[in-house]
Amino acid sequence: MEFSLYNSSSLRFPQNDFLPLHNRSTLGSFHTFSIKKLASKSISTCRPLIWRRLPLVRRNAQTATESNASGDKHGEDDFIVEDVPHLTHFLPDLPSYTNPLKKSQAYAIVKKTFVSPEDMVAKEIIVQKDSPRGIHFRRAGPREKVFFTPEEVRACIVTCGGLCPGINTVIREIVCGLKNMYGVDDVLGIQGGYSGFYSKNTLNLTTKVVNDIHKRGGTFLQTSRGGHDTKKIVDNIQDRGINQVYIIGGDGTQKGAAAIYKEVEKRGIKVAVAGIPKTIDNDIAVIDKSFGFDTAVEEAQRAINAAHVEAESVQNGVGIVKLMGRYSGFIAMLATLGNRDVDCCLIPESPFYLEGPGGLYEYVEQQLKENRHVLIVLAEGAGQEYVAQSMQAFQEKDASGNRLLLDVGLWLTQQIKDHFTNERKMTINMKYIDPTYMIRAIPSNASDNIYCTLLAQSAVHGAMAGFTGFTVGPVNSRHAYIPINRVTETTNTVNMTGRMWARLLASTNQPSFVNHQTLRERVDKNTIDAINNMKINST
Protein backbone atom coordinates (compact mmCIF):
# COMPACT_ATOMS: atom_id res chain seq x y z
CA MET A 1 0.00 0.00 0.00
CA GLU A 2 1.26 3.52 -0.77
CA PHE A 3 0.25 6.90 0.56
CA SER A 4 0.90 9.98 -1.59
CA LEU A 5 1.46 13.29 0.18
CA TYR A 6 1.32 16.50 -1.84
CA ASN A 7 2.51 19.88 -0.76
CA SER A 8 3.16 22.88 -2.96
CA SER A 9 5.74 24.38 -0.60
CA SER A 10 9.27 23.27 0.06
CA LEU A 11 9.34 20.40 2.54
CA ARG A 12 10.59 21.37 5.98
CA PHE A 13 11.13 18.56 8.43
CA PRO A 14 9.30 19.22 11.71
CA GLN A 15 11.21 20.08 14.85
CA ASN A 16 11.44 16.48 15.97
CA ASP A 17 13.59 15.80 12.92
CA PHE A 18 11.59 13.14 11.14
CA LEU A 19 8.93 13.07 8.49
CA PRO A 20 5.32 12.99 9.70
CA LEU A 21 3.49 9.72 9.43
CA HIS A 22 -0.02 9.33 8.19
CA ASN A 23 -1.92 6.20 9.04
CA ARG A 24 0.92 4.88 11.23
CA SER A 25 -0.76 1.58 11.89
CA THR A 26 -0.08 0.41 8.35
CA LEU A 27 3.67 0.93 8.48
CA GLY A 28 6.45 -1.45 9.48
CA SER A 29 9.12 -1.06 12.11
CA PHE A 30 10.95 1.55 10.09
CA HIS A 31 9.83 3.80 7.31
CA THR A 32 10.94 4.06 3.72
CA PHE A 33 10.09 6.92 1.47
CA SER A 34 10.88 7.97 -2.07
CA ILE A 35 11.54 11.55 -3.05
CA LYS A 36 11.41 12.45 -6.71
CA LYS A 37 13.78 15.39 -6.56
CA LEU A 38 16.32 16.43 -3.94
CA ALA A 39 17.31 20.06 -4.30
CA SER A 40 20.70 21.25 -3.10
CA LYS A 41 19.37 22.72 0.16
CA SER A 42 15.78 21.59 0.45
CA ILE A 43 13.61 18.77 -0.71
CA SER A 44 10.92 19.85 -3.11
CA THR A 45 7.54 18.22 -2.78
CA CYS A 46 5.93 19.60 -5.89
CA ARG A 47 5.83 15.96 -6.87
CA PRO A 48 4.39 13.17 -4.72
CA LEU A 49 6.15 11.93 -1.61
CA ILE A 50 5.66 8.17 -1.42
CA TRP A 51 5.66 6.07 1.76
CA ARG A 52 6.17 2.42 0.98
CA ARG A 53 5.41 -0.60 3.05
CA LEU A 54 8.21 -3.11 3.48
CA PRO A 55 9.65 -5.03 1.80
CA LEU A 56 11.03 -2.25 -0.35
CA VAL A 57 11.25 -2.98 -4.04
CA ARG A 58 14.63 -1.66 -5.09
CA ARG A 59 15.24 -0.47 -8.61
CA ASN A 60 18.44 -1.31 -10.47
CA ALA A 61 20.10 0.42 -13.39
CA GLN A 62 18.51 -1.92 -15.94
CA THR A 63 15.05 -1.25 -14.54
CA ALA A 64 15.75 2.47 -14.59
CA THR A 65 16.88 2.36 -18.21
CA GLU A 66 13.82 0.37 -19.23
CA SER A 67 11.60 2.81 -17.33
CA ASN A 68 13.18 5.78 -19.07
CA ALA A 69 12.72 4.16 -22.44
CA SER A 70 9.03 3.70 -21.74
CA GLY A 71 8.62 7.31 -20.64
CA ASP A 72 8.71 6.68 -16.88
CA LYS A 73 10.88 9.38 -15.24
CA HIS A 74 11.14 7.60 -11.86
CA GLY A 75 14.20 5.63 -12.94
CA GLU A 76 16.18 8.78 -13.73
CA ASP A 77 16.15 10.42 -10.31
CA ASP A 78 14.58 7.96 -7.88
CA PHE A 79 15.69 8.84 -4.32
CA ILE A 80 14.96 6.23 -1.63
CA VAL A 81 15.43 6.88 2.09
CA GLU A 82 15.35 3.97 4.50
CA ASP A 83 14.46 5.72 7.73
CA VAL A 84 14.59 4.65 11.36
CA PRO A 85 11.76 4.82 13.94
CA HIS A 86 11.22 7.78 16.24
CA LEU A 87 9.61 7.89 19.70
CA THR A 88 6.90 10.22 18.42
CA HIS A 89 5.72 7.52 16.02
CA PHE A 90 3.98 5.87 18.97
CA LEU A 91 4.11 8.80 21.44
CA PRO A 92 2.88 11.67 19.25
CA ASP A 93 2.52 14.22 22.07
CA LEU A 94 6.10 13.93 23.26
CA PRO A 95 7.59 17.38 23.99
CA SER A 96 10.93 18.47 22.54
CA TYR A 97 13.68 20.62 24.07
CA THR A 98 16.58 22.74 22.90
CA ASN A 99 19.77 20.71 22.54
CA PRO A 100 22.24 21.53 25.38
CA LEU A 101 25.04 21.56 22.80
CA LYS A 102 23.75 24.97 21.78
CA LYS A 103 25.50 26.32 24.89
CA SER A 104 28.52 24.03 24.72
CA GLN A 105 31.86 25.79 24.75
CA ALA A 106 33.45 22.97 22.75
CA TYR A 107 30.80 22.94 20.02
CA ALA A 108 30.71 26.74 19.82
CA ILE A 109 33.64 26.58 17.40
CA VAL A 110 31.74 24.31 14.99
CA LYS A 111 30.43 26.24 12.01
CA LYS A 112 27.37 24.00 11.75
CA THR A 113 26.70 22.41 15.12
CA PHE A 114 23.59 20.47 14.20
CA VAL A 115 22.92 18.00 11.42
CA SER A 116 20.20 19.13 9.04
CA PRO A 117 17.05 16.94 8.95
CA GLU A 118 17.56 16.79 5.19
CA ASP A 119 21.11 15.37 5.36
CA MET A 120 21.23 11.83 3.98
CA VAL A 121 24.04 9.36 3.32
CA ALA A 122 24.06 7.45 0.03
CA LYS A 123 24.45 3.68 0.21
CA GLU A 124 26.19 3.64 -3.17
CA ILE A 125 28.51 6.41 -4.31
CA ILE A 126 29.60 4.91 -7.62
CA VAL A 127 26.72 5.36 -10.05
CA GLN A 128 26.16 5.69 -13.78
CA LYS A 129 24.63 8.67 -15.52
CA ASP A 130 21.19 7.13 -16.02
CA SER A 131 21.02 5.04 -12.83
CA PRO A 132 18.50 5.86 -10.06
CA ARG A 133 19.60 7.89 -7.07
CA GLY A 134 19.33 4.75 -4.96
CA ILE A 135 19.05 4.05 -1.23
CA HIS A 136 19.99 6.62 1.41
CA PHE A 137 20.16 6.58 5.21
CA ARG A 138 19.63 9.39 7.70
CA ARG A 139 22.93 11.07 8.58
CA ALA A 140 24.03 10.63 12.21
CA GLY A 141 24.89 13.52 14.49
CA PRO A 142 23.45 16.05 16.98
CA ARG A 143 20.00 17.52 16.33
CA GLU A 144 18.74 20.98 17.21
CA LYS A 145 15.88 19.47 19.21
CA VAL A 146 16.10 16.63 21.72
CA PHE A 147 13.36 14.63 23.42
CA PHE A 148 15.01 14.04 26.79
CA THR A 149 16.09 16.46 29.48
CA PRO A 150 19.39 15.57 31.20
CA GLU A 151 17.62 15.16 34.56
CA GLU A 152 15.13 12.58 33.30
CA VAL A 153 17.60 10.34 31.48
CA ARG A 154 18.48 7.00 33.02
CA ALA A 155 20.58 5.13 30.47
CA CYS A 156 21.99 1.61 30.48
CA ILE A 157 24.71 -0.12 28.50
CA VAL A 158 25.01 -3.86 27.81
CA THR A 159 27.61 -5.91 25.91
CA CYS A 160 26.82 -9.29 24.39
CA GLY A 161 28.55 -12.01 22.37
CA GLY A 162 32.26 -12.58 21.80
CA LEU A 163 35.10 -10.22 22.60
CA CYS A 164 36.81 -7.85 20.23
CA PRO A 165 39.12 -4.84 20.65
CA GLY A 166 37.32 -1.59 21.32
CA ILE A 167 34.32 -2.64 23.41
CA ASN A 168 35.58 -0.78 26.47
CA THR A 169 36.21 2.32 24.37
CA VAL A 170 32.59 2.29 23.20
CA ILE A 171 31.37 1.91 26.80
CA ARG A 172 33.60 4.76 27.95
CA GLU A 173 32.56 7.12 25.17
CA ILE A 174 28.83 6.49 25.67
CA VAL A 175 29.20 7.42 29.35
CA CYS A 176 31.42 10.43 28.61
CA GLY A 177 29.26 11.52 25.69
CA LEU A 178 26.09 11.49 27.80
CA LYS A 179 27.80 13.40 30.59
CA ASN A 180 30.01 15.86 28.73
CA MET A 181 27.68 16.68 25.85
CA TYR A 182 24.25 16.38 27.44
CA GLY A 183 24.81 16.60 31.21
CA VAL A 184 23.44 13.11 31.94
CA ASP A 185 24.65 11.66 35.24
CA ASP A 186 22.57 8.49 35.59
CA VAL A 187 24.09 5.65 33.54
CA LEU A 188 23.90 1.97 34.49
CA GLY A 189 26.11 -0.88 33.31
CA ILE A 190 24.30 -4.20 32.81
CA GLN A 191 26.66 -7.01 33.76
CA GLY A 192 26.92 -10.28 31.86
CA GLY A 193 25.02 -9.70 28.61
CA TYR A 194 21.26 -9.86 28.05
CA SER A 195 20.64 -12.16 31.00
CA GLY A 196 22.18 -9.48 33.22
CA PHE A 197 18.99 -7.45 32.89
CA TYR A 198 17.19 -9.90 35.16
CA SER A 199 19.85 -12.04 36.82
CA LYS A 200 22.80 -9.85 37.83
CA ASN A 201 23.52 -6.58 39.56
CA THR A 202 24.22 -3.35 37.74
CA LEU A 203 27.06 -0.89 38.02
CA ASN A 204 26.74 2.88 38.30
CA LEU A 205 28.89 4.23 35.50
CA THR A 206 30.47 7.65 35.89
CA THR A 207 33.20 9.32 33.87
CA LYS A 208 35.59 8.57 36.73
CA VAL A 209 34.68 4.87 36.80
CA VAL A 210 35.22 4.42 33.06
CA ASN A 211 38.14 6.84 32.75
CA ASP A 212 40.84 4.33 31.80
CA ILE A 213 38.91 1.23 30.71
CA HIS A 214 39.78 1.88 27.04
CA LYS A 215 43.33 0.79 27.89
CA ARG A 216 42.12 -2.71 28.74
CA GLY A 217 41.00 -5.54 26.51
CA GLY A 218 37.72 -7.44 26.84
CA THR A 219 34.61 -5.84 28.25
CA PHE A 220 34.42 -3.98 31.53
CA LEU A 221 30.77 -5.10 31.88
CA GLN A 222 31.40 -8.79 31.11
CA THR A 223 29.50 -10.59 28.39
CA SER A 224 27.62 -13.78 27.56
CA ARG A 225 25.91 -15.49 24.65
CA GLY A 226 22.18 -16.12 24.54
CA GLY A 227 20.05 -15.35 27.58
CA HIS A 228 17.67 -13.11 25.66
CA ASP A 229 14.14 -12.99 27.05
CA THR A 230 12.46 -9.93 25.55
CA LYS A 231 9.60 -9.58 28.03
CA LYS A 232 11.82 -10.06 31.08
CA ILE A 233 14.30 -7.51 29.72
CA VAL A 234 11.63 -4.88 29.02
CA ASP A 235 10.00 -5.58 32.40
CA ASN A 236 13.35 -4.85 34.03
CA ILE A 237 13.81 -1.72 31.93
CA GLN A 238 10.45 -0.45 33.16
CA ASP A 239 11.07 -1.44 36.77
CA ARG A 240 14.40 0.37 36.88
CA GLY A 241 13.05 3.45 35.11
CA ILE A 242 15.52 3.13 32.24
CA ASN A 243 14.68 5.21 29.18
CA GLN A 244 17.78 4.84 27.00
CA VAL A 245 19.28 1.44 26.16
CA TYR A 246 22.64 1.09 24.39
CA ILE A 247 23.31 -2.42 23.11
CA ILE A 248 26.77 -3.46 21.89
CA GLY A 249 26.91 -6.75 20.02
CA GLY A 250 26.88 -8.68 16.78
CA ASP A 251 24.20 -10.09 14.53
CA GLY A 252 22.23 -12.02 17.15
CA THR A 253 22.57 -9.18 19.64
CA GLN A 254 21.21 -6.65 17.16
CA LYS A 255 18.24 -8.90 16.40
CA GLY A 256 17.61 -8.92 20.13
CA ALA A 257 17.79 -5.13 20.16
CA ALA A 258 15.15 -5.02 17.44
CA ALA A 259 12.90 -7.30 19.52
CA ILE A 260 13.35 -5.04 22.56
CA TYR A 261 12.39 -2.00 20.51
CA LYS A 262 9.27 -3.78 19.22
CA GLU A 263 8.19 -4.65 22.76
CA VAL A 264 8.85 -1.08 23.92
CA GLU A 265 6.75 0.25 21.06
CA LYS A 266 4.00 -2.24 21.85
CA ARG A 267 3.88 -1.07 25.46
CA GLY A 268 4.05 2.58 24.43
CA ILE A 269 6.83 3.54 26.83
CA LYS A 270 9.39 6.26 26.31
CA VAL A 271 12.55 4.20 25.79
CA ALA A 272 15.11 4.83 23.06
CA VAL A 273 16.92 1.67 21.90
CA ALA A 274 20.27 2.17 20.13
CA GLY A 275 22.49 -0.59 18.76
CA ILE A 276 26.25 -0.44 18.20
CA PRO A 277 27.22 -3.30 15.85
CA LYS A 278 30.19 -5.41 16.93
CA THR A 279 32.02 -8.22 15.20
CA ILE A 280 35.73 -8.74 14.84
CA ASP A 281 35.15 -10.56 11.52
CA ASN A 282 33.92 -7.40 9.75
CA ASP A 283 30.91 -9.34 8.42
CA ILE A 284 28.21 -6.76 9.22
CA ALA A 285 26.32 -5.63 6.13
CA VAL A 286 25.88 -2.02 4.96
CA ILE A 287 28.53 -0.37 7.16
CA ASP A 288 32.09 0.16 5.90
CA LYS A 289 33.74 -1.91 8.62
CA SER A 290 33.22 -3.01 12.20
CA PHE A 291 35.20 -1.66 15.15
CA GLY A 292 38.15 -3.75 16.29
CA PHE A 293 38.83 -4.96 12.75
CA ASP A 294 41.85 -2.70 12.16
CA THR A 295 43.34 -3.76 15.48
CA ALA A 296 42.81 -7.44 14.65
CA VAL A 297 44.54 -7.11 11.27
CA GLU A 298 47.45 -5.26 12.87
CA GLU A 299 47.87 -7.76 15.71
CA ALA A 300 47.63 -10.70 13.28
CA GLN A 301 50.90 -9.48 11.74
CA ARG A 302 52.79 -10.55 14.86
CA ALA A 303 51.58 -14.14 14.51
CA ILE A 304 52.24 -14.22 10.76
CA ASN A 305 55.74 -12.80 11.21
CA ALA A 306 56.50 -15.38 13.90
CA ALA A 307 55.31 -18.24 11.69
CA HIS A 308 57.38 -16.89 8.80
CA VAL A 309 60.54 -16.72 10.91
CA GLU A 310 59.97 -20.26 12.21
CA ALA A 311 59.28 -21.67 8.73
CA GLU A 312 62.21 -20.07 6.92
CA SER A 313 64.66 -21.05 9.69
CA VAL A 314 64.34 -24.79 9.04
CA GLN A 315 64.49 -27.17 6.09
CA ASN A 316 61.09 -27.57 4.40
CA GLY A 317 59.39 -25.39 6.96
CA VAL A 318 55.59 -25.08 6.74
CA GLY A 319 54.06 -22.27 8.77
CA ILE A 320 50.28 -22.20 9.31
CA VAL A 321 48.44 -19.34 11.05
CA LYS A 322 44.73 -19.61 11.84
CA LEU A 323 42.86 -16.32 12.16
CA MET A 324 39.27 -15.34 12.95
CA GLY A 325 36.62 -15.52 10.23
CA ARG A 326 33.59 -17.73 10.82
CA TYR A 327 31.79 -16.90 7.59
CA SER A 328 33.93 -14.08 6.18
CA GLY A 329 37.64 -14.03 5.48
CA PHE A 330 38.32 -10.30 5.75
CA ILE A 331 40.88 -10.54 8.56
CA ALA A 332 42.84 -13.30 6.81
CA MET A 333 42.71 -11.47 3.46
CA LEU A 334 43.76 -8.05 4.79
CA ALA A 335 46.40 -9.54 7.10
CA THR A 336 47.85 -11.41 4.12
CA LEU A 337 47.89 -8.30 1.94
CA GLY A 338 49.41 -6.26 4.74
CA ASN A 339 52.16 -8.80 5.38
CA ARG A 340 53.34 -9.81 1.89
CA ASP A 341 55.24 -12.87 3.17
CA VAL A 342 52.21 -15.18 2.94
CA ASP A 343 52.21 -17.79 0.17
CA CYS A 344 48.58 -18.90 0.44
CA CYS A 345 45.40 -17.54 2.06
CA LEU A 346 42.37 -19.77 2.58
CA ILE A 347 38.99 -18.25 3.49
CA PRO A 348 35.39 -19.54 3.83
CA GLU A 349 34.20 -17.78 0.66
CA SER A 350 36.74 -19.57 -1.55
CA PRO A 351 36.49 -23.39 -1.50
CA PHE A 352 39.81 -25.19 -1.87
CA TYR A 353 40.95 -28.76 -2.43
CA LEU A 354 44.05 -30.66 -1.40
CA GLU A 355 44.89 -33.28 -4.04
CA GLY A 356 45.27 -33.18 -7.79
CA PRO A 357 46.52 -30.59 -10.29
CA GLY A 358 46.13 -27.06 -8.97
CA GLY A 359 45.50 -28.38 -5.45
CA LEU A 360 47.03 -27.19 -2.20
CA TYR A 361 49.48 -30.13 -1.91
CA GLU A 362 50.92 -29.42 -5.35
CA TYR A 363 51.31 -25.71 -4.58
CA VAL A 364 52.96 -26.36 -1.19
CA GLU A 365 55.44 -28.77 -2.78
CA GLN A 366 56.26 -26.22 -5.48
CA GLN A 367 56.95 -23.53 -2.87
CA LEU A 368 59.11 -25.89 -0.79
CA LYS A 369 61.24 -26.73 -3.83
CA GLU A 370 61.66 -23.08 -4.82
CA ASN A 371 61.93 -21.35 -1.42
CA ARG A 372 62.50 -24.19 1.09
CA HIS A 373 59.56 -22.92 3.14
CA VAL A 374 55.89 -22.00 2.76
CA LEU A 375 53.54 -19.83 4.84
CA ILE A 376 49.76 -20.39 4.91
CA VAL A 377 47.12 -18.18 6.53
CA LEU A 378 43.60 -19.52 6.90
CA ALA A 379 40.38 -18.26 8.40
CA GLU A 380 38.69 -20.44 11.02
CA GLY A 381 35.64 -21.03 8.81
CA ALA A 382 37.61 -22.25 5.77
CA GLY A 383 37.33 -25.90 4.74
CA GLN A 384 34.83 -26.81 7.46
CA GLU A 385 33.08 -29.29 5.17
CA TYR A 386 36.31 -31.26 4.73
CA VAL A 387 37.02 -31.28 8.46
CA ALA A 388 33.49 -32.42 9.23
CA GLN A 389 33.71 -35.25 6.70
CA SER A 390 37.11 -36.32 7.96
CA MET A 391 36.07 -36.29 11.61
CA GLN A 392 32.49 -37.46 10.95
CA ALA A 393 31.31 -34.56 13.07
CA PHE A 394 27.89 -32.95 13.16
CA GLN A 395 27.35 -29.23 13.08
CA GLU A 396 26.34 -27.81 16.43
CA LYS A 397 25.54 -24.24 17.48
CA ASP A 398 26.41 -22.09 20.45
CA ALA A 399 23.97 -20.11 22.63
CA SER A 400 23.98 -17.25 20.11
CA GLY A 401 22.99 -19.55 17.25
CA ASN A 402 26.43 -19.51 15.63
CA ARG A 403 27.82 -22.68 14.10
CA LEU A 404 30.45 -24.29 16.33
CA LEU A 405 33.57 -24.62 14.21
CA LEU A 406 35.97 -27.52 14.10
CA ASP A 407 39.67 -26.69 14.31
CA VAL A 408 40.62 -26.44 10.64
CA GLY A 409 44.13 -25.35 11.61
CA LEU A 410 45.03 -28.57 13.42
CA TRP A 411 43.28 -30.62 10.74
CA LEU A 412 45.17 -28.99 7.86
CA THR A 413 48.46 -29.25 9.76
CA GLN A 414 47.98 -33.00 10.14
CA GLN A 415 46.80 -33.48 6.55
CA ILE A 416 49.85 -31.74 5.08
CA LYS A 417 52.21 -33.55 7.42
CA ASP A 418 50.74 -36.98 6.61
CA HIS A 419 50.74 -36.34 2.85
CA PHE A 420 54.37 -35.28 2.56
CA THR A 421 55.67 -37.80 5.09
CA ASN A 422 53.76 -40.85 3.85
CA GLU A 423 53.20 -40.19 0.16
CA ARG A 424 55.95 -37.82 -0.95
CA LYS A 425 58.53 -39.24 1.47
CA MET A 426 59.61 -35.74 2.44
CA THR A 427 60.59 -34.56 5.88
CA ILE A 428 58.81 -31.32 6.72
CA ASN A 429 58.82 -29.12 9.79
CA MET A 430 55.34 -27.93 10.77
CA LYS A 431 54.84 -24.67 12.71
CA TYR A 432 51.22 -24.02 13.68
CA ILE A 433 50.11 -20.81 15.42
CA ASP A 434 46.58 -19.95 16.62
CA PRO A 435 46.57 -16.38 18.00
CA THR A 436 42.76 -16.06 18.07
CA TYR A 437 42.27 -15.29 21.76
CA MET A 438 45.38 -13.13 21.93
CA ILE A 439 43.93 -10.93 19.18
CA ARG A 440 40.40 -10.79 20.57
CA ALA A 441 41.53 -9.80 24.04
CA ILE A 442 43.84 -6.86 23.32
CA PRO A 443 42.89 -3.16 23.65
CA SER A 444 42.02 -1.32 20.45
CA ASN A 445 44.65 0.69 18.60
CA ALA A 446 44.48 4.43 17.96
CA SER A 447 42.51 4.07 14.73
CA ASP A 448 39.84 1.92 16.36
CA ASN A 449 39.72 4.15 19.44
CA ILE A 450 38.80 7.10 17.25
CA TYR A 451 36.26 5.01 15.36
CA CYS A 452 34.67 3.72 18.59
CA THR A 453 34.36 7.30 19.84
CA LEU A 454 32.45 8.31 16.72
CA LEU A 455 30.15 5.28 16.98
CA ALA A 456 29.37 5.95 20.65
CA GLN A 457 28.72 9.64 20.15
CA SER A 458 26.52 8.99 17.12
CA ALA A 459 24.44 6.57 19.20
CA VAL A 460 24.11 9.12 22.02
CA HIS A 461 23.07 11.89 19.62
CA GLY A 462 20.48 9.61 18.06
CA ALA A 463 18.94 8.46 21.33
CA MET A 464 18.76 12.01 22.72
CA ALA A 465 17.09 13.15 19.48
CA GLY A 466 14.36 10.56 20.03
CA PHE A 467 15.38 8.00 17.42
CA THR A 468 14.96 4.39 18.47
CA GLY A 469 15.29 0.89 17.04
CA PHE A 470 18.37 1.93 15.09
CA THR A 471 22.00 1.00 14.74
CA VAL A 472 24.92 3.24 13.81
CA GLY A 473 27.87 2.93 11.50
CA PRO A 474 29.81 4.54 8.67
CA VAL A 475 28.38 4.25 5.16
CA ASN A 476 30.86 5.48 2.58
CA SER A 477 32.83 7.17 5.38
CA ARG A 478 29.80 9.11 6.70
CA HIS A 479 28.12 7.94 9.91
CA ALA A 480 24.44 7.13 9.54
CA TYR A 481 21.42 5.81 11.42
CA ILE A 482 20.47 2.46 9.92
CA PRO A 483 17.38 0.28 10.51
CA ILE A 484 18.51 -2.72 12.54
CA ASN A 485 17.13 -5.28 10.12
CA ARG A 486 19.35 -3.87 7.34
CA VAL A 487 22.51 -4.93 9.19
CA THR A 488 21.14 -8.34 10.22
CA GLU A 489 19.38 -9.48 7.05
CA THR A 490 22.60 -10.64 5.37
CA THR A 491 26.28 -11.25 6.10
CA ASN A 492 29.08 -9.22 4.55
CA THR A 493 31.52 -11.53 2.74
CA VAL A 494 34.60 -11.22 0.58
CA ASN A 495 33.72 -10.67 -3.07
CA MET A 496 35.38 -13.49 -4.97
CA THR A 497 35.21 -11.55 -8.24
CA GLY A 498 36.29 -8.24 -6.71
CA ARG A 499 39.56 -6.37 -7.07
CA MET A 500 40.68 -6.93 -3.48
CA TRP A 501 40.68 -10.72 -3.85
CA ALA A 502 42.41 -10.31 -7.22
CA ARG A 503 45.11 -8.25 -5.49
CA LEU A 504 45.60 -11.05 -2.97
CA LEU A 505 45.90 -13.70 -5.70
CA ALA A 506 48.45 -11.50 -7.46
CA SER A 507 50.38 -11.03 -4.21
CA THR A 508 50.55 -14.71 -3.22
CA ASN A 509 50.44 -16.32 -6.68
CA GLN A 510 48.33 -19.05 -5.11
CA PRO A 511 45.93 -21.14 -7.19
CA SER A 512 42.31 -19.93 -7.31
CA PHE A 513 41.03 -23.52 -6.71
CA VAL A 514 38.11 -23.14 -9.14
CA ASN A 515 38.97 -25.71 -11.79
CA HIS A 516 38.52 -28.86 -9.73
CA GLN A 517 35.48 -30.90 -10.77
CA THR A 518 34.01 -31.26 -7.29
CA LEU A 519 34.26 -27.53 -6.72
CA ARG A 520 32.72 -26.71 -10.07
CA GLU A 521 29.58 -28.42 -8.82
CA ARG A 522 29.52 -26.27 -5.68
CA VAL A 523 30.51 -22.87 -7.03
CA ASP A 524 28.19 -20.78 -9.14
CA LYS A 525 29.15 -21.03 -12.83
CA ASN A 526 29.05 -17.27 -13.33
CA THR A 527 31.51 -16.81 -10.48
CA ILE A 528 33.89 -19.43 -11.95
CA ASP A 529 33.72 -17.85 -15.40
CA ALA A 530 34.35 -14.39 -13.94
CA ILE A 531 37.41 -15.63 -12.03
CA ASN A 532 38.76 -17.56 -15.03
CA ASN A 533 38.42 -14.50 -17.25
CA MET A 534 39.80 -12.07 -14.67
CA LYS A 535 42.98 -10.22 -15.58
CA ILE A 536 44.79 -10.18 -12.29
CA ASN A 537 47.23 -7.42 -11.56
CA SER A 538 48.60 -5.70 -8.47
CA THR A 539 47.09 -2.25 -9.05
CATH code: domain of residue 268: 3.40.50.450
User: How much is the average pLDDT of 388-397?
Assistant: 62
Q: Is 534 known to sit in a ligand binding site?
A: no
pLDDT in tens, 469-515: 999 999 999 999 999 999 999 999 999 999 999 999 999 999 988 75
The residue segments making up the domain with residue 163 are 145-289+444-489
Q: Is 159 known to sit in a ligand binding site?
A: no
Helix (H, G, I), strand (E, B) or coil at 509: coil
Q: Is residue 476 part of a domain?
A: yes
Catalytic one among 186, 281, 283, 448? Answer: 281
User: How much is the average pLDDT of 197-213?
Assistant: 93
Judge if 284 and 166 occupy the same domain: yes
pLDDT for 1 beyond 70: no
pLDDT for 225 beyond 50: yes
pLDDT for 215 beyond 70: yes
pLDDT averaged over the chain?
A: 83
Judge if 313 and 262 occupy the same domain: no
Domains identified in the chain, total number: 2
pLDDT for 461 beyond 70: yes
Q: Is 269 known to sit in a ligand binding site?
A: no
Q: Is 281 known to sit in a ligand binding site?
A: yes
Judge if 366 and 421 occupy the same domain: yes
- What integer pLDDT is reported at residue 59 of this predicted model? 39
The DSSP element (H or E) to which 36 belongs, if any, is none
Question: Where do the DSSP E strands lie in 233-281?
Answer: 244-249, 272-277
User: How much is the average pLDDT of 198-223?
Assistant: 94
Helix (H, G, I), strand (E, B) or coil at 410: helix
Judge if 450 and 373 occupy the same domain: no
Distances (CA, A) of 11 to 49, 99, 304, 349: 10, 23, 56, 46
- Reported as a pLDDT band with limits 50, 70 and 90, residue 400 is low
- What integer pLDDT is reported at residue 264 of this predicted model? 97
Judge if 270 and 344 occupy the same domain: no
The DSSP call for residue 421 is I
- What integer pLDDT is reported at residue 397 of this predicted model? 59
Distances (CA, A) of 461 to 56, 105, 276, 447, 494: 27, 17, 13, 22, 32
Q: Is residue 281 annotated as a catalytic residue, yes or no?
A: yes
CA–CA dist 148, 272 (Å, integer): 10
User: How much is the average pLDDT of 217-229?
Assistant: 92
